[in-house]
Chains A and B, each alone.
Chain A
Amino acid sequence: MKFIQVFIVIMAALALASCSTKISYGDATSVETTTTGFGSTDLQTIAEKLVDDLITFPPVVQMTSERRPVVFVDKIKNKTTEHIDTESITDTIQTKLLQSGKFRFVDMTTVQAVQEQMKFQMDSGMVDSNKAAAFGKQTGAEFMLYGNMSSIVKRRNDTKDVYYKFTLKLVNLESGIIEWASEKEIRKSSEKTFFLN
């Protein structure tokens, strides 16, 4: 009986403690398994695997030992049933590739803003014409990175299985040849369990 009393006191203390809101910072790189949905660990794992594959692919190693090719990143097609911010995945891949010192990128998402700034420099009369950035001097991309993301979801009773496949390809814009491709597969499953029957 004494054990039950002690247990009730502990549980009451825990219940009271749970009334307060506690905010804490966590490790952004830790494994996240909140749900079977696409999460931060999946994004980080995909980016790391594909970047490692690309920068160690023999023809790419040879090419990047002589120069830093200019690449354009196209959107990744999301063929899954989830809403996934695929731009976030390509952003991480682009950042890692830039930091490797092997590639350079042109950013098509800022074309409008760049155009407006250059027009301002040329036409506003406020910028020294000798120091204004000139039109027609930008570098064109030699390669394009693009890909797909797909998933297969299966459910049976209390078990759910999710399979993700992320494919990334590097195509030579001039020749149309796919110079490199790689995939990353992820399988996640969840099962509802009942401890107390």
Chain B
Amino acid sequence: MLKIKLKMAILTGFSVLTLGCSVNETVTVVVQDDGNLTQTIESNSDLLAENLMIAGTKTAFVGDLLKAQVEIKNASDELLSFQYKFKWLDKRGFEVGIGSRPWHPISITPYESKMIQGVAPNPLVNSFTVLVQD
């Protein structure tokens, strides 16, 4: 009986802990007028930010739409399951298509890299941020 109660207590504690998921901005890429990229990688002390690495970014214009590809690496020895989405910004820093882009679930096995890809919703976009959350 005591064993079952202890299990329930542990489970309750674990549920409370997992409720506190956080959003981390990991990389922001701006395509300058001359075509050069400015890349800013932000990390914080969250578990996900410690284990995820931005291994590389690629951008290209398809017609007049910005296409982005980001390589995310799981630097840990555990399977990481999280969600990501692209946030698209225009030249003045305004977000384009607010709320129209969904979070995507993704899992990366230990030390593996995966590519994520997105296309800007319209030609006004010249930069993007990849958001990840656990």
Decide if A and B are genuine partners. Answer: yes
Chain A interface residues (CB < 8 Å from chain B) = 4, 7, 10, 14, 27-31, 40-41, 44-45, 48, 51-52, 55-56, 61-62, 64-65, 96, 99-101, 195-196
- A29-B103, A30-B103 are contacts. A4–B5 as well, Cβ < 8 Å? yes
Any chain A CB within 8 A of the CB of B114?
no
B118 touches which of A52, A64, A196 (Cβ 8 Å): A52
**Chain B 33-52 near chain A by CB (<8 Å), digits 1 or 0:** 00000000000000000000
Report the separation of the CA atoms of residues A10 and B118 in the bound assembly, to the nearest whole angstrom: 46
| Contact string against A for B residues 107-131, beta-carbon threshold 8 Å, 1 for contact and 0 otherwise | 0000000000111011100000000
CA distance A28 to B101 in the complex (A): 10
Determine the chain B residues whose CB is within 8 A of the CB of A56 once the complex forms.
Answer: 62-63, 65, 67, 119
B19 at the A interface (CB under 8 A): no
Dominant secondary structure of chain A at its interface with chain B:
helix
Specify which of B12, B63, B97, B105 is in contact with A64 (CB 8 Å cutoff). B63
Bound Cα distance from A195 to B105, whole angstroms: 25
User: Counting CB contacts under 8 A, is B104 at the interface?
Assistant: yes
Q: Does B64 count as interface, using CB distance less than 8 angstroms? A: yes
The answer to whether B102 touches A44 (Cβ under 8 A) is: yes
Asked whether A29 lies within 8 Å of B119 as measured between CB atoms, the reply is: no
Q: Is the CB of B121 within 8 A of A31?
A: no
Question: What are 18 A-to-B residue pairs whose CB atoms are below 8 Å?
Answer: A4-B2, A27-B103, A29-B85, A29-B99, A29-B101, A41-B102, A44-B102, A45-B102, A48-B101, A52-B118, A55-B62, A56-B65, A65-B63, A99-B100, A99-B122, A100-B122, A101-B122, A196-B8
Q: State the CA gap A44–B83 with chains docked (Å).
A: 14
A28 to B96, CA, bound (A): 17
B58 beta carbon closer than 8 Å to chain A? no
Are B121 and A61 in contact (CB-based, < 8 A)? no
Given A52-B118, A56-B67, A100-B122, the answer on whether A31 and B105 have CB atoms closer than 8 Å is yes
Interchain nearest-CB distance for A31 vs B (Å): 5
What CA separation (Å) do A48 and B122 show in the bound complex?
A: 13
Inside 8 A of A4's CB, which chain B residues have their CB?
A: 2, 5
Evaluate contact between B100 and A96: CB separation under 8 angstroms: yes
Say yes or no: A55 contacts B119, CB within 8 Å. Answer: yes
Q: State which of B5, B99, B104, B121 has its C-beta within 8 Å of the C-beta of A7.
A: B5
